[in-house]
Amino acid sequence: DYRARAALVMAPFLTDFSGEELRGCVADAYAEQKFSGPPAPLSSPESGVWFLELWHGPTCAFKDMALQLLPRLLTLSLGKIRSQKGALILVATSGDTGKAALEGFRDVKGTRVAVFYPQNGVSALQERQMRTQRGGNVSVWAVRGNFDDAQTGVKKIFADGHIREETGKRGWMLSSANSINWGRLLPQIVYYFSAWCDLAASGAVRPGEPVDFCVPTGNFGDILAAYYAKKMGLPVGRLVCASNANNVLTEFLKTGVYDRNRRFYTTISPSMDILVSSNLERLLFDLTGGDGGRVAGWMAELARSGRYRV
């Protein structure tokens, strides 16, 4: 059962939550009225190949897997610390995250959500989904620029002490529904475990047999979740980083040079139209043994010149 697996996988990271609380959050997030059938089933078009179907949530985006759960974890956390402030959720989106965040936080008590998306940089369907979102605590804003511009703007808000202070005076604390928030990334680890368990249960893989995962990649969060699953002990073989014309990540993995100084392409896969992948920083931090200074140097070089080499 996916819900039981989710509670089990996430429990070591959420030690301030009781088992009952965590199971309650998971049961609510992945309730049958929100997901049509199993939340993350497998299908096999040919022998030895499987698709992990992550589109069965309320917005048909894989981000539903995390963003139906995050609001429940966040509001429970606010209650535990007896916060007198609400949570103002800022979101930069290339399409999927925006609608999933709006739907996940819709009318959740003690929260407001503001989504920023690149004008002419999301699909027509995604834009309509966001602009027609119902809810008394939601707002949507188009940004003149691409996703990287929207993401950079949101990060600047989080880093601005004056804005944080003024927001606090008005009774709100800033938070994020992007993968810079660990609570967004953690639920994504679960479906890799669930996929392997389903394969093992069907006899498609033997106990301990590694499975390769090919992951369409933009901001590097989803494939990073697979990497963390492997570090937790899941039998993972190769992780294949799939890209579109904005192939800054695949080039980096081949050459060791990250270079955002290139043409930005608007493609039919807008969630992958990214030149500055935030979660790569987390991978580098892990691979350097937690050398924050070294990683910070690379990020400073990226901000200064648009490129760095590892």
For 54-100, the pLDDT digits (tens) are 999 999 999 999 999 999 999 999 999 988 999 999 999 988 899 99
Q: What is the pLDDT of residue 87?
A: 96
What number of CA atoms fall less than 13 Å from residue 19's CA on the CB side? 4
Tell me if 187 sits within 8 A of 10, measured CB to CB: yes
Asked if 63 is an active-site residue, the reply is yes
CATH: 3.40.50.720, 3.40.50.1100, 3.30.230.10, 3.40.50.2300. Which one for 2-176? 3.40.50.1100
SS3 label, residue 115: strand
Q: How would you class 74 by CB atoms within 10 Å of its CB: exposed for 0-12, middle for 13-18, buried for 19 or more?
A: buried
Domain(s) of CATH 3.40.50.1100: residues in the chain: 2-176, 206-309
Q: What is the pLDDT of residue 36?
A: 81
Q: What is the pLDDT of residue 94?
A: 85
Tell me if 140 sits within 8 A of 98, measured CB to CB: yes
Residue labelled with tokens 């800033």: 174
User: Which tokens in the block code for residue 159?
Assistant: 């880093």
Cα(295)–Cα(198) distance, rounded to whole angstroms? 37
Q: What is the pLDDT of residue 96?
A: 86
**Total residues found in the chain within this entry:** 310
SS3 label, residue 294: helix
Q: What is the DSSP letter of 104?
A: H
- Among 34, 63, 109, 254, the one annotated catalytic: 63
Backbone angles phi, psi at 242, to 5 degrees: -90, 140
Cα(85)–Cα(221) distance, rounded to whole angstroms? 29
Cα(183)–Cα(110) distance, rounded to whole angstroms? 17
* Residues with pLDDT less than 50, the chain: none
Annotation: CATH topology of 206-309 = Rossmann fold (3.40.50)
